[in-house]
Structure 1
Amino acid sequence: MENAFPQLNQRLHNRRFIVANNSQGLSGSDTVFHYLVEDRAITGTYQGGRIRTGHQVGRVTGPDTIELLYHCITTDGEILAGWSRGTVGADQAGRTTLHFVWGWLSGATGGGESNYVELVE
């Protein structure tokens, strides 16, 4: 299958991200997200801070858009699940940025908006 959105895949595949702003969410400055992309399929893991371990599965929906389902177990032993729709961009330094609108499906209520930036080591 031909990759319909190669630039988005290059910006996400095997890259790590940290929280830039997530005032309403559970992930924080110690949480690291790692994404893998194959064609339009996205998988990912995240952990750190209040997140003991988490997983994501999703798809590329456009040249700069994605949607994800996620679940995690917290350091307090809570199990949570939710959804998000995101936009992939870049900041002035060339690092990949992610902006999500998200909500909880299980274990919590509400939702919000979050911003992430590529972790460059």
Structure 2
Amino acid sequence: MADFSEIHQRLNNRRFTVANNTQGLSGTGTVFRYVVDGEAITGTYQGGRIRIGNQVGRVTGTNTIELLYQCVTTEGEILAGWSRGVVSQDHHGRTTLHFVWGWLSGATGGGESSYVELVD
């Protein structure tokens, strides 16, 4: 079995906020929370234009993940999509996430987005 301990350490029970997502729905005020169990990843997100959302995914490499996500917006829309991400670290030691993503239902298109760990 592959060693996914670094992703577990960087994501498990941690919170993230949007650093850059010009083409996406999440934005200022959206907070993501992740749980990592082996290679399985689950998450929730809400805030900003997102009333409630959840994610399910898996670790695909030593610093890569893929996720499926779905949400209900504050306008009552239901949306779903996919993303492939890279987990890394910024010069302050905070975990960062960079995703390429696309919509599967409720919207069209896609883009790239970046997130940074919220540190208390």
Using structure 2 for the length normalisation, give the TM-score: 0.98
Secondary structure of 2:102's counterpart equals strand
CA distance in 1, matches of 2:9, 2:87: 11
Pairing 1:42-61 to 2, within 5 Å after superposition: 42-61=41-60
Give the equivalent residue in structure 2 for 1:23.
Answer: 22
Secondary structure of 2:8's counterpart equals helix
CA RMSD of aligned residues (A): 0.8
Pairing 1:104-119 to 2, within 5 Å after superposition: 104-119=103-118
Q: Give 1:39 deviation, angstroms.
A: 0.2
**What residue ranges of structure 1 are gaps of 5+ in the alignment?**
none
CA distance in 1, matches of 2:68, 2:32: 14
Give the equivalent residue in structure 1 for 2:81.
Answer: 82
Give the equivalent residue in structure 1 for 2:40.
Answer: 41
Give the equivalent residue in structure 2 for 1:70.
Answer: 69
Using structure 1 for the length normalisation, give the TM-score: 0.97
Paired letter, 2:32: F
The question of whether the paired residues in 2 share the 8 Å contact of 1:58 and 1:67 is answered with: yes
1:17-50 per-residue CA deviation (whole Å, 9 max, x = no partner) reads 0000000000001100000000000000000000
Secondary structure of 1:62's counterpart equals coil
Q: Tell me: CA distance 1:3–1:14, structure 2 relative to 1, closer, same or farther (3 Å).
A: farther
Secondary structure of 2:97's counterpart equals strand
CA distance in 2, matches of 1:84, 1:63: 17
Secondary structure of 2:60's counterpart equals strand
1:40-97 per-residue CA deviation (whole Å, 9 max, x = no partner) reads 0000000000000000000000000000000000000000000000000000000000
2:87 paired with 1:92 = no
**What residue ranges of structure 2 are gaps of 5+ in the alignment?**
none
The question of whether the paired residues in 2 share the 8 Å contact of 1:33 and 1:44 is answered with: yes
Q: Give 1:14 deviation, angstroms.
A: 0.3
